[in-house]
A and B are shown apart, each in its own frame.
Chain A
Amino acid sequence: MKNAVAVIAACAALSAACNRAPSQGAGGKPTVALVLKTLNHPFFVDMRRGAQEAADRLGVTLQVQAAEREIDVEKQMQIVENLIQTGIQALAITPSGSREIVSALVKARGARVPIIVVDTRLDSKAAADAGVRGETFVGSDNYEGGRLAGEFMVKATGGKAHVGILEGIPGHETGDSRLRGFRDAVKGSPGITIAASQPANWERDQGFNVFQNMLQAHPDIDSVFACSDLMALGALEAISAAHRTGTIKVVGFDALDDAKKAIAAGAMEASVAQFPAEMGRAAIESAVRVIHGEKLPEDIKVKLELVTRDNAK
């Protein structure tokens, strides 16, 4: 009987929790699900805030779920499968894996749940093979963001630099596009060489370690492009540990608050700002439009902006 008691204890916690979060739209309100990669990253926390505001304004019930870890696409798939069971009217999702999540979306389509893809695109081949189509894609153009960063790097270094690059998780569309954009932008400047380019898996501590190792192997590195600010902030700490603050130009992506502070303080050069709250808002607005039977444009672009010393607050 002991485990029975254990489970009852858990259920007490559970029933307390569900009073707070109803599983179905109260009073016939449609329910929209927003499945994020994770909720332990400020980017997605902002996205959730924007989505919640839009949901309140438009009178829909919003269900937000996320896996514990950003890379856990199997868990994200389970969440989608479970949410389909609750009869949601629309699904907005930031795919943890551009190809892998397609299998779950096949099931959503089977249940006639319209899909809004947010922030990270589906792999077009995998989606086409499975016959899955999002109603629309809401997000910033990561390739364009990478270009912005690259063009800034050329300008800031006068076209002469040894660049170290910190990549996201290999195979992630988001990071790959940023990287391609950056490389394409610096390609035209023969004075810019890419000394090293390695994944630090989106994480701050890995950004620190990987860049520290990079500096050991390539002491001539004088600038950094990190595909996300968390990795850029990790690199900043590695630079400070090597007593080289101010001699290495760091450009990041996401314009997190900590990064903006570093830019204002002069420790970091620039960061490409995305507007996740805006994405969340647009995602829920799109979902509501689809529920009302409207047809959406294929792409809903959310703006990008370069944050530098001039506009960092």
Chain B
Amino acid sequence: MNPARQFGTLIGLLVLCVILWILSPFFLTVSNLLNVAEQTSINAIVAVGMTFVILSGGIDLSVGSIVALAGVVLGLALRGDQPLALALFVALVAGAICGLANGMLVSLGGLPPFIVTLGTMSIARGAALLVTEGRPISGFAASFRLFATGRVGFVPAPVIATALVYLIAHLALTRTTFGRYVYAIGGNEEATRLSGVAIPFHKTMIYVVSGLTAAIAAVILTARLNSAQPIAGMMYELDAIAATVIGGTSLMGGEGTLAGTLVGALIMGVLRNGLNLLGVSSFLQQIVIGAVIVVAVLLDTMLKRKHAV
């Protein structure tokens, strides 16, 4: 990945912040910036797994439904008076199992990721609705709610969680053989296979990572709403894909970084926040956000073509 391009995404974020600072007296305050960071955390965490998947040349449409299912599993465990640690564990396991199913169907079953995760999207959503009979589960202990309302110093807990997830995932992606294989599989799967890498195993693990990060996001979302909703997380997959591609990851795979994804998620979060602060009509907001996604990827593609020449 060309570092200058990464830099470009960051400059984009800074320019956006400066413009909002000029336009709104409410934007550049500590409380609002913390507010944006907190609001961005869920999408940013889901986008970590999405980045792994897209880097490997795949796509995961099921993350939104996994957020709902893992949240519901968490909610049921908490309402069943299970200890907090166990409840968190089963929620993460639920996410990992969904990812495992996706990964095995893609790698061993040889199915296109789009189709597999489209199926899982519906199955996980249906399962979440089925076990809750469509009703939200709510009323959790105050100790659990600390995942959303807690603060370390003045930093909200979801922001800390996001930082930890990014740190660990970044190390895994840049300092381990698994991380190198993620890029290799996305860059040239056939060549990677010929060099003796166990593709099915690594591909499966990539989708497990995606399921896991969706489940972590579910913990924060459930704490934030103080409720586990089977209809939660709808369209989160699209937000996560958007953050990833705005962050410079190529949908063709093999190229991109987590730092870029984090900046991509922040651009979306800052944009939504700023449009609210400015009182822009909610319909216009959708147009602006859509335009940013398209233009960012358009420029990315044009730049790549230029480099190729």
Q: A2's closest neighbor in chain B, by CB?
A: B299
Provide the bound-state CA to CA distance between A8 and B138, in Å.
Answer: 42
CB atoms of B278 and A6 under 8 A apart: no
Q: Which residues of A contact B280 (CB under 8 A)?
A: 14, 17-18, 21
Q: Which residues of B contact A3 (CB under 8 A)?
A: 8-9, 11-12, 246, 248, 267, 296, 299-300
CB atoms of B279 and A21 under 8 A apart: yes
Shortest beta-carbon distance, B23 to chain A, in Å?
6
CB atoms of A74 and B19 under 8 A apart: no
CB atoms of B15 and A9 under 8 A apart: no
Q: Which of A70-118 contact B (CB under 8 A)?
A: 71-74, 77-79, 81-83, 85-87, 97, 99-100, 102-103
Q: Which residues of A contact B42 (CB under 8 A)?
A: 74
Contacts between the two chains (Cβ within 8 Å), count: 182
Q: B39's closest neighbor in chain A, by CB?
A: A78
CB atoms of B19 and A15 under 8 A apart: yes
The yes or no answer to A217 lying at the interface (CB within 8 A) is no
Of the candidates A39, A78, A129, the one whose C-beta lies within 8 Å of that of B283 is: A39
Interface centre among A72, A79, A171, by most B CB within 10 Å? A171
CB atoms of B279 and A100 under 8 A apart: no
Shortest beta-carbon distance, B132 to chain A, in Å?
9
Shortest beta-carbon distance, B260 to chain A, in Å?
9
Q: How many residues of B contact A (CB 8 A)?
A: 69
Provide the bound-state CA to CA distance between A196 and B66, in Å.
Answer: 30
Query: Quick one: given A5-B299, A74-B221, A82-B277, are A14 and B23 in contact (CB under 8 Å)?
Result: yes
CB atoms of B288 and A2 under 8 A apart: no
CB atoms of B276 and A79 under 8 A apart: yes
The yes or no answer to B123 lying at the interface (CB within 8 A) is no
Q: B135's closest neighbor in chain A, by CB?
A: A171
Q: Which of B1-54 contact A (CB under 8 A)?
A: 4-5, 7-9, 11-13, 15-16, 19, 23-26, 29, 31-32, 35, 38-39, 42
Q: Which of B285-300 contact A (CB under 8 A)?
A: 286-288, 291-292, 295-296, 298-300
**Contact residues of A: prevailing secondary structure:** helix
Q: B271's closest neighbor in chain A, by CB?
A: A10
Q: A102's closest neighbor in chain B, by CB?
A: B226
CB atoms of A11 and B16 under 8 A apart: yes
Q: Which residues of A contact B168 (CB under 8 A)?
A: none
Q: When each residue 125-167 of chain B gets 1 if its CB lies under 8 Å from chain A and 0 otherwise, what string results?
A: 0000000011110110000000011000000000000000000
30 contacts between A and B (CB under 8 A): A1-B11, A3-B246, A3-B267, A4-B15, A5-B12, A6-B292, A7-B12, A10-B295, A13-B287, A15-B23, A17-B275, A21-B278, A21-B279, A64-B281, A69-B234, A71-B231, A77-B224, A81-B35, A82-B276, A85-B26, A86-B277, A97-B136, A97-B227, A99-B136, A99-B139, A99-B225, A100-B226, A103-B148, A103-B224, A171-B134
12 more CB-based (< 8 A) A-B contacts, given A4-B11, A97-B229, A169-B134 = A1-B4, A1-B7, A2-B296, A3-B267, A17-B275, A78-B273, A82-B273, A97-B225, A102-B226, A103-B226, A125-B139, A171-B135
B-to-A contact residues, CB < 8 Å: 4-5, 7-9, 11-13, 15-16, 19, 23-26, 29, 31-32, 35, 38-39, 42, 133-136, 138-139, 148-149, 221, 224-227, 229, 231-232, 234-235, 246, 248, 267, 271-284, 286-288, 291-292, 295-296, 298-300, 302-303
**5 closest residue pairs by CB, A with B:** A2-B299, A82-B276, A170-B134, A3-B12, A18-B278
